[in-house]
């Protein structure tokens, strides 16, 4: 007897079918909660690769951005849990049970993020390491977690977030905050969603080292985009009063873990 899916895994393809195939094969391996995979495909090659492995496909018009596309998918699925995943990232066996354990144990946790490793098993900081946001017309540069800016004026208050490359949450919470903002794209879109879950719903985020994602050989996080001034302004104006006039966003994995091998305890709640 087949089980009703409990998790919809929304995989964002990026025009590299080999990475998408590796991701879908990892989802099919090992025990775990019943799931359905749905691929956001902007190219015919991605769509063909997904359908060949039995995944559902949403073929997207060229003008539809990643945030609007993911919102569109969530609007038609009915599973209680959602997982957002970047093509090329392969999850270890048991990932589903590990992630849902942190969401369904009665604690007020809205989303769980995973520990990302490169193809050689080295810790990665999930692509978009840090965004420094300051008042004025020009944002500071994207910078790696652990790099200290020079001078006190460039040390804004830090807030932690989770990477949208591997993010698991309840569908109800996602809908309650309006999902991803269509005006924003990665990395702003993921951080904006995390802050809405934290500050609008009053729930916590949890980094779970036991939820491991490994980039397939030859793959890694998408290239960091050039800083988009319009998105920077939207994000800064939305959150500056709630957080701090100047603030910085960092992945849950900090530089000390990469340097010392220290592992953050399971489900350390981000405050």
Domain positions in the chain: 7-270
Residue with tokens 């569908």: 171
Q: Determine the pLDDT at residue 168.
A: 94
Q: CB atoms < 10 A from the CB of 167, how many?
A: 25
Q: Which of 172, 162, 167, 180 is nearest to 68 (CA)?
A: 180
DSSP category for residue 90: E
Maximum pairwise Cα distance, the chain: 63
| Position 146 pLDDT exceeds 70 | no
Q: Regarding predicted confidence, which is higher, 85 or 33? A: 85
Mean pLDDT calculated for residue range 146-162: 51
Mean pLDDT calculated for residue range 247-254: 61
| Mean residue pLDDT across the chain | 77
- How many whole angstroms separate alpha carbon 25 and alpha carbon 87? 11
Bridge partners of 173?
none
Q: Determine the pLDDT at residue 42.
A: 83
β-pairing, 7-12 vs 56-59, is unpaired
- How many whole angstroms separate alpha carbon 154 and alpha carbon 90? 36
Bridge partners of 136?
none
Q: What percent of the chain has pLDDT over 70?
A: 73
Contact by Cβ (8 Å): 32, 9: no
Integer CA distances (angstroms), 125 to 84, 113, 232, in order: 17, 12, 21
Q: What percent of the chain has pLDDT over 90?
A: 31
Q: Determine the pLDDT at residue 225.
A: 60
Q: Regarding predicted confidence, which is higher, 124 or 143? A: 124
Residue with tokens 């951080």: 191
Residue 116 structure tokens: 């990302």
| Position 129 pLDDT exceeds 50 | no
pLDDT band for position 156 (cuts 50, 70, 90): low
Sign of CA dihedral 181, 183, 185, 188: negative
pTM of the model: 0.82
- Tell me if residue 176 falls in helix, strand or coil: helix
Residue 150 CA, distance from chain mean position: 29
Contact by Cβ (8 Å): 5, 36: yes
Torsion of CA 267, 113, 70, 15, to 10 degrees: -160
| Position 257 pLDDT exceeds 70 | no
Domain 7-270 has CATH 3.90.550.60: yes
- How many whole angstroms separate alpha carbon 143 and alpha carbon 149? 9
| Position 148 pLDDT exceeds 60 | no
Q: Determine the pLDDT at residue 40.
A: 92
| Position 64 pLDDT exceeds 90 | no
| Position 5 pLDDT exceeds 90 | no
Q: Which of 159, 187, 161, 166 is nearest to 114 (CA)?
A: 166
Torsion of CA 243, 246, 252, 256, to 10 degrees: -140
Residue with tokens 């920077």: 232
pLDDT band for position 226 (cuts 50, 70, 90): low
- How many whole angstroms separate alpha carbon 45 and alpha carbon 197? 35
Q: Across the chain, how many H-helices and E-strands are there?
A: 8, 13
């Amino acid at each position: 007897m087949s089980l009703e899916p409990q998790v919809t895994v929304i995989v964002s393809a990026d025009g590299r079918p080999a990475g998408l195939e590796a991701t879908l094969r990892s989802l099919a391996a090992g025990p775990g909660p019943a799931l359905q995979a749905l691929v956001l495909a902007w190219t015919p090659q991605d769509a063909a690769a997904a359908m060949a492995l039995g995944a559902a496909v949403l073929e997207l018009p060229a003008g539809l951005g990643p945030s609007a596309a993911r919102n569109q998918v969530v609007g038609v699925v009915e599973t209680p849990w959602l997982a957002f995943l970047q093509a090329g990232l392969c999850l270890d066996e048991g990932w589903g049970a590990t992630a849902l354990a942190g969401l369904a144990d009665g604690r007020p946790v809205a989303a769980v993020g995973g520990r990302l490793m490169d193809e050689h098993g080295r810790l990665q900081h999930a692509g978009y390491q840090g965004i420094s946001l300051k008042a004025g017309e020009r944002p500071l540069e994207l910078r790696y977690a652990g790099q200290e800016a020079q001078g006190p004026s460039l040390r804004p208050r830090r807030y932690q977030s989770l990477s949208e490359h591997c993010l698991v949450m309840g569908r109800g919470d996602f809908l309650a905050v309006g999902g991803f903002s269509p005006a924003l794209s990665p990395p702003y879109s993921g951080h904006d969603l995390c802050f809405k879950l934290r500050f609008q719903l009053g729930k916590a985020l949890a980094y779970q080292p036991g939820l491991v994602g490994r980039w397939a050989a030859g793959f890694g996080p998408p290239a960091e985009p050039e800083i988009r001034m319009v998105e920077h302004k939207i994000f800064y104006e939305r959150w500056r009063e709630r957080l701090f006039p100047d603030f910085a966003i960092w992945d849950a994995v900090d530089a000390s873990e990469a340097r010392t091998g220290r592992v953050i305890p399971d489900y350390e709640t981000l405050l």
